[in-house]
Structure 1
């Protein structure tokens, strides 16, 4: 028996209401989160990073994707790194190139490591934290997907 239109509206309303009630991922706000370019970055971010879907956050100039227990987290407005001996990688897809300082964190399950990537040569800087649970199952090639959004902040210096 087909569902009546009023019943469809009630079901759709319940689904939307339930989705709106999901608890946001807690992300510490960055010191320069109110910088106007951070709004441009966040508005340009993709809905998905590979197979990781975007989830709601509760802080300004932040975004998260994946499992709420161990999401990939982006914060705009972190302190820009100065010259560093840390590993610097360029995520270049031919159209957009972003330099990232890559810093390993603590070791997680299966010997994988948490990683923090911070843009180099851009102010305000953007930081992406990738938990070991994500690096254990996926590559960090999704940094390429973040390139167009991060490129909203002009690059003034490059990795050597």
Structure 2
């Protein structure tokens, strides 16, 4: 009996230790996170981006990588309107790049409905690396438009000029 209690106690301690190793990131879901197209994206998201492992999130159609998180992702946003923000393309997916919070970048798909967004701390991983990893999943969203001027990303980290979209 004493050995069973000890074994049970060891199992509980081990489970608690494993749970402590997998943080849950609190995120707010986008307004249209319940769109079935976001479910299609979610199941295709990568387990790793660069050296960053995917971690649990507590909201539908969201994902995060790194501990602390360096990449945050949401699907189900309203598609952005025309903008003068820089537009880059990875694997046929156009992204508007907002650098207002530099060194973090907020990158939102353009011409996809629903829209998806990645918030990337570029002091930990390049925006190019994050978008490269996300392109296959996000590429499943239906195309509804495209940038009029786009910089085809090369992955070399070079900044592209600002471009207009329609």
Structure 1 and Structure 2 fold alike (TM over 0.5): yes
Q: For 1:31 and 1:156, locate their aligned partners in 2 and report how far apart those are by CA, in whole Å.
A: 19
Calculate the TM-score normalised by the size of structure 1.
0.78
Whole-Å Cα distance in 1 between the matches of residues 57 and 145 of structure 2?
30
Give the equivalent residue in structure 2 for 1:62: 62
> Which one of 145, 155, 160 corresponds to residue 133 of structure 2?
145
Instruction: Summarize deviations over 1:26-78 as a string: whole Å, max 9, x none.
Output: 1111000010111110100000001110000000100000123x431000001
Map 1:1-150 onto structure 2 (within 5 A). 15=14, 18-20=17-19, 22-68=22-68, 70-92=69-91, 97-107=92-102, 113-131=103-121, 135-140=122-127, 141-150=129-138
Distance 1:13 1:148 in 2: 39
Decide whether aligned partners of structure 1 residues 61 and 137 sit closer, same or farther in structure 2, where only a CA change above 3 A counts. closer
Match in the other structure for 1:3: none
Runs of 4+ in 1 over 2 A off after TM superposition: 10-23
In the alignment, the residues of structure 2 paired with residue 65 and residue 11 of structure 1 have an alpha-carbon distance, to the nearest angstrom, of: 30
- How far did 1:18 drift? 3.3
Question: Can you give the 5+ residue segments of structure 2 that lack an aligned partner in the other structure?
Answer: 1-8, 149-166
Structure with max Cα Rg: 2
Query: What CA distance in whole angstroms lies between the structure 2 residues aligned with 1:40 and 1:146?
Result: 13
Q: Structure 1 residues 41-50 or 21-30, which shifts more? A: 21-30
Tell me by how many angstroms 1:152 deviates: 1.6
